[in-house]
Structure 1
């Protein structure tokens, strides 16, 4: 059975619809390609209590969770604080993270606001994820049954960190065996008509069946597990 993965996005701009959460879709595609079973996407606004409850729930039900957003320097960036409360872990000042943030501003001949010091406060015992593309370092830790990776919400930074920092860790932490996805595109038939025709076919329980209706076609998707016998 493939390990399960959840994607958790933090930000009031996401839950209010001001920003489309493209991070979750991109991460899902990467996770499925790696061999994870993605079970949930969750978005939470800038409310500390909601973040705490969600983190505690995920720690009990998922094998892995990729979290994006909430690592900035402002008062509505609450991810590290929520982790501290949820898992009863104190925050501590990370000197190396602070040096990296300071250097980011110095290289651009800009004064660093005092508020950016907050970004160097990381949960005790967490592994820092260095970020050369912005001021927000990520971090990872294990709590309960789940390994968490916390990444900045800026898509460019998130993608770089996922490729360079997270992917190598996933391959060593989890037994990942990607399945095979087959997509059949159909023109001139609706979803219901395709479903009726498929009803006469016995699809094995371990094969996931799904549909995606577009403007011009319907895509029927069959996801086969890695160990499904070839015929």
Structure 2
């Protein structure tokens, strides 16, 4: 029964069926299936989504649906994972920089990172540089991720880097940038440690920076 439910969860996640994913996870938890096992199945499903996207079999709307489904499932099991002391690969904060209210791409990165085994805290949109720094200290994060989706807001990226320096934590965290208005050429200019063009690139970049 549990194996059938796990398979159903995987298929629903790949297909972006949000309500079904949430219900599958709840039923698995009620049946006593270990939350880590459930998470592993969800990660496997998101890997399939990533493969489909890389092969142009899936497009942005598909990513959004599967990403939202992933978050719906995570809402159910994250409390259990934390309560049982499950280990994460690292802690990441994400936010769209000050003046930028675009959220879709960041949300996909959020879900993909969680699916890859990271604890992720989303600061939302229009996040001031000093807030990135304050939250990094408060939460004890390993990675600060800042996104800019408009060329007019890319100017905030180096300001985030400066805020981390002024807070005295720049050498303690990795600073990663992304967003439609950025490219790899922005890394040095922004004082960042890495860049991700897609959500899966972001995971690979962070894995490499943290040697995971």
The structure with the greater share of residues assigned to helix is: 2
When normalised by structure 2's length, the TM-score is 0.41
The structure with the greater share of residues assigned to strand is: 1
When normalised by structure 1's length, the TM-score is 0.38
* Structure of larger gyration radius: 1
